[in-house]
Amino acid sequence: MEIQNNVALATYTSWLIGGPADHFCRPKDVEQLREAQSWARAKGLPITVLSGGSNVLISDQGVRGLVICLKDFAGTEMSVEGGRFRLTVKAGTGKSELLKIFLKEKLAPALFLAGIPGDVGGGVVMNAGVAEAMVPREFTEITEWIEVLKPDGSLKTYQHGELKWSYRHSSGWEPGIITRVGIQWPHRQDPSILEQVRAANKVRLSKQPLDMPSCGSVFVNPPGLKAAQLIDSSGLKGYTVGEAQVSTKHANFIVNLGAAKAQDIWSVIQHVKATVKSQKSVELQTEVVRMGDWA
């Protein structure tokens, strides 16, 4: 497997922002992942995992050490047994692939998956989900087990109940790299699922700036509150630093107007947090993960 040097990361992110990785590789299987781990360990370099890149803010200074990109680490196997639909999915498989499979099977998980970009492993890490009331609405509900490559090169499987799942977060599996995810759902078909997905997509398109680079919602909703409402009612829609802007369409999105720097986005985030704190006495927490050198 080729390990490249000085690779620009911006195009690997949904914000289209970020400096270079010192070293970069795209493993296809567990053997190549182990190879990448050993290579970094022998050189004493840190490892950063990048999957769909739809929830990360990568520094303008880039990422030191080895970035392992999971774009080529994809594939699915499916089975139906005892009325249960089961999939074994490699972590770098796009959620869009999962969506296609659930749509073909006319099963309910298609509805929440339609709203979330990125890959399946990233979906587990973030316990990705939607705010709308539906079943299922988060990754925890469809995940049966996960397999993790530990730093010593061993593979460990965790059952759902061994993990801790919370709002936009899972834990109990770290440290390591999620390699495969076991997904399950009752094989109870709903012929109207495609129509429901189409309707939900239409609503999303009308409410979210999906034509501009973003990472989706930047802040998690504080308990019982909506981050977007707090930001909007603090008068922050349209607030701009450089080419980073609080979306005029959805206040919890920060969009890249064209040539935004990571530092512009970070400045907007800091300003939004400070303004909401002073006007609403609420401490917003970021959902987006910062990566790389932020000296």
d(CA 23, CA 40): 9
Tell whether omega for the bond before 213 is within 30 degrees of 0, i.e. cis. no
Per-residue DSSP letter, 92:
T
Question: Which residue, 143, 160, 151, is CA-closest to 49?
Answer: 151
Contacts to ligand FAD from residues 158-197, by CB under 6 A = 168, 177-178
Residue bearing tokens 């309910």: 108
Q: To the nearest whole angstrom, how small is the minimum distance from the Cβ of residue 79 to ligand FAD?
A: 22
31 is catalytic: no
137 is catalytic: no
Under rule CB under 6 A, residue 121 binds ligand FAD: yes
Helix (H) or strand (E) run with residue 175 in it: none
Tell whether omega for the bond before 136 is within 30 degrees of 0, i.e. cis. yes
Q: To the nearest whole angstrom, how small is the minimum distance from the Cβ of residue 126 to ligand FAD?
A: 4
- Radius of gyration of the chain measured on its C-alpha atoms: 19
Encoded one letter per residue, x for contact with ligand FAD by CB under 6 A and - for no contact, window 196-235 reads --------------x---xxx-------------------
Task: List alpha helices for 13-118, DSSP H.
Answer: 30-43, 95-105, 109-113
Under rule CB under 6 A, residue 18 binds ligand FAD: no
Find the catalytic residue in 64, 168, 204, 290: 168
Contacts to ligand FAD from residues 235-294, by CB under 6 A = 289
**How are strands ordered across the β-sheet holding 254-256?**
240-241, 244-246, 254-256
168 is catalytic: yes
Tell me whether residue 96 or residue 267 sits nearer to ligand FAD (CB atom).
96
- The single residue among 18, 20, 27, 53 that binds ligand FAD, judged by CB under 6 A, is 53
Angle at 185 between CA 112 and CA 14, to 5 degrees: 35
Find the catalytic residue in 54, 59, 217, 234: 217
Contacts to ligand FAD from residues 100-119, by CB under 6 A = 115-119
Instruction: Tell me the catalytic residues.
Output: 168, 217, 287
Binding site for ligand FAD (CB under 6 A): 14, 49-56, 70, 91, 115-119, 121-123, 125-126, 128-130, 168, 177-178, 210, 214-216, 289
